[in-house]
Structure 1
Amino acid sequence: MGVHVWLGGKRIRPHLRVDPLEIVDGHNGPAAAVYTRENLPNNVLAAIPPNLTSEECTAALPRALVASFVKTDKDFQTKGITVTYVIIDGWVVTVASVGDSRCILESAEGSVYFLSADHRLDANEEEVERVTASGGEVGRINVARGAGIGPLRCWPGGLCLSRSIGDTDVGEYIVSVPHVKQVQLSNAGGRLVIASDGVWDALRFQEALNYTRGLPAEAAANRVVKEAVSSKGLRDDTTCIVVDILPPEKLSPPLKRHVKGGIKALFRWRPSDELSEEQTDNGCFEPDVVEELYEEGSAMLAQRLALL
């Protein structure tokens, strides 16, 4: 199996427009990954109306990302790829994702926010219901005596994911409409950890964040990949990007292990909290210093936005 490891770290200063960050994880060959990297950014730019103010451009990003994912999928209909695409504009972070790479934000106050969705059928009951309601079948590989082994898959095709770019040979149940989330950080900043499933299959999110603490972005990304490979071996693409979004006067984000603060602290995830990853994924805390501007994960979003 081919292994692609991208060890990357970046430091971003607010109020500067930056190139998008993306993790693309192809299956059935590299063709979809190459095509997506070459074309998705241009499709995003083309989907943003001209002559917008900075604020209007930021507000237009969610729709533009949905349109660009759908167009890229239409233009490239063979092989397949998962994509987590991140745009940072000042203190605003916009994330569009299909598949199982994940983007996690840790605010300067130590709260953790999940900015992407996991579209593995094993991890997403809503997607299982969507696929079966559309006429697809979801199940495990059958062996002797009807016993099922391995992860849940969509049939025909046997893909473990419900969303991707490409994969039209698998069937209409696999869609390219991304989950989109847009948040605004406080001016204290924060840290993004973006990684492929090769990382998240090996490390829980708390472990990954712990490995990044006290390290600059590039060293943190290298540490996460090293620990993931050490835990699971080179059995999957293992990619990590760590991005610090910092106020101008600070060299590194003050990622605190313990959070003080009255009532608000009751609604934030903290390293000492005994919450499962599933509980935090389902929103067992409310934003404190991170404001949610937009979130939509419906597979019907493209139709609602008149993009299909």
Structure 2
Amino acid sequence: MCLPRLCFCKMGASAGTQSRPASKAPTDTGKGKNQSKRVVHGYALVKGFASHPLEDYHVAEYRSIGEHELGLFAIFDGHLGNSVPAFLQNHLFNNILKEPGFFRDPVNAIKKAYSSTDQIILDRASVLGAGGSTAVTAILLDGKRLVIANIGDSRAVLSRAGTAVQLSVDHEPSKPSERVNIQNRGGFVLNMPGDVPRVDGQLAVARAFGDKNLKEHLSADPDIKEEMIDPATEFLILASDGLWKVVQNQEAVDLVRKIHDPKTAAKRLTDEALARKSKDDISCIVVRFL
């Protein structure tokens, strides 16, 4: 397969219905310089039925650092307010990239930056509030190497030759390993009838940024996975649980595999989640490798 010169293109979209006011997302374009494969992305964000403002935030941008080209993509799904996901949108990637040795060992740099960023959020709880946020981040290094990190239940799914490959870990309190970790920290998992398991009966994810009142029992350690971009790599989906609660991984891949415009693909996924009665905020980024 012949791989053309890289061109990074950014496309934004908003989606919604009358009862779901959509966030405003700009449309623009950009180019990378040094890669051999074209990369384009699009995104769509939809406000859920809750009365509070949209709590999903995203990052989708490209940066040149020295000889390197980076694609930076993320979904941050906040709870108990939008201050923490907004802070992550503005600061998490900066904190990752300023870690010494990032290009030598990005996995270690990401782990350190997740930890230090969480501590900053906790230290600023008087300003940012007591809420928190999940995160799934993707860093594309020089168009060849993809590093995915996550805490919480926002998810990254890769399409490789039409097969869905989940690259993130859903950190749910019901999972035995997460339950043990919570209990070892002195917490407990409570599952009320008709509800989902929650940390200390409150939070439905086992790992998150912030949440100062639960932090003794809550981890902010990311799971990290690396993938190489090869000719079989078609596209990456990053989305909040507003999508994944109602759409399975392979379903998502099948829905948009033939949609080459990533903005249209992202909107197709949010529209499907709406059609399936998802009540949460829904945010989605599609990154297509051409």
TM-score interval for Structure 1 and Structure 2 normalised by the shorter chain: 0.7 to 0.9
TM-score (norm 1): 0.68
Q: 1:121 to 1:43 in 2, by over 3 A?
A: same
Tell me, which stretches of 5 or more residues in structure 2 are unaligned?
1-18, 37-67, 123-129
* Selected match of 1:99 from 102, 127, 152: 152
Between the aligned residues of both structures, percent identity stands at 28
Equivalent in 190, 203, 225 of residue 270 of structure 2: 225
**2:187 alignment partner, one of 136, 139, 143:** 136
Residue 207 of structure 1 and its aligned partner are, at CA, apart by: 1.5
Give the match's secondary structure for 2:191. strand
Q: Distance in 2 between matches of 1:79 and 1:196?
A: 17
Quote the residue 2:7 is aligned against.
none
Work out whether 1:26 is the aligned partner of 2:71. no
Q: Relative to total residues, which structure has the larger strand share, 1 or 2? A: 2
Q: Aligned pair in 2 of structure 1 residues 23, 12: CA closer, same or farther (>3 Å)?
A: farther
1:168 aligns with 2:220: no
Give 1:183 shift. Answer: 1.1
Aligned to 1:182: 226
Measured in 2, the distance between the counterparts of 1:231 and 1:7 equals 23
Q: How does 1:67-82 map to 2 (within 5 A)?
A: 67-77=112-122, 78-82=130-134
Counterpart amino acid of residue 23 in structure 1: I
Letter of the aligned partner of 1:30 in structure 2? N
Report if the CA contact (8 A) 2:233-2:289 is conserved: yes
Distance 1:163 1:2 in 2: 28
Moved over 6 A (4+): 1-4, 6-13
The aligned amino acid for 1:196 is S
Larger radius of gyration: 1
1:176 is paired with a residue whose SS is coil
- CA drift of 1:4 comes to 6.4
Alpha-carbon distance between aligned partners in 2 of 1:99 and 1:113, rounded to the nearest angstrom: 18
User: How far apart are residue 153 of structure 1 and its match?
Assistant: 0.8
Structure 1 residues 120 and 7, CA gap change in structure 2 (3 angstroms): farther
Deviation at 1:11, TM superposition (A): 9.7
**Matched residue, 1:115:** 167
Give the direction of change, closer, same or farther, for the CA distance of 1:37–1:158 in structure 2 (3 Å limit). Answer: same
Structure 1 position 18, deviation (Å): 2.8
Normalising by structure 2, we get a TM-score of 0.72
Name the CA shift for 1:136/1:170 in 2 (closer, same or farther; >3 Å). same
Which residue number corresponds to residue 193 of structure 1? 237
Number of equivalenced pairs: 229
Which secondary structure does the structure 1 equivalent of 2:213 belong to? coil
Consecutive unaligned residues in structure 1, runs of 5 or more: 50-55, 142-147, 247-308
Residue identity in the other structure for 1:244: R
Distance 1:227 1:114 in 2: 19
CA contact (8 A) 1:96 1:178 kept: yes
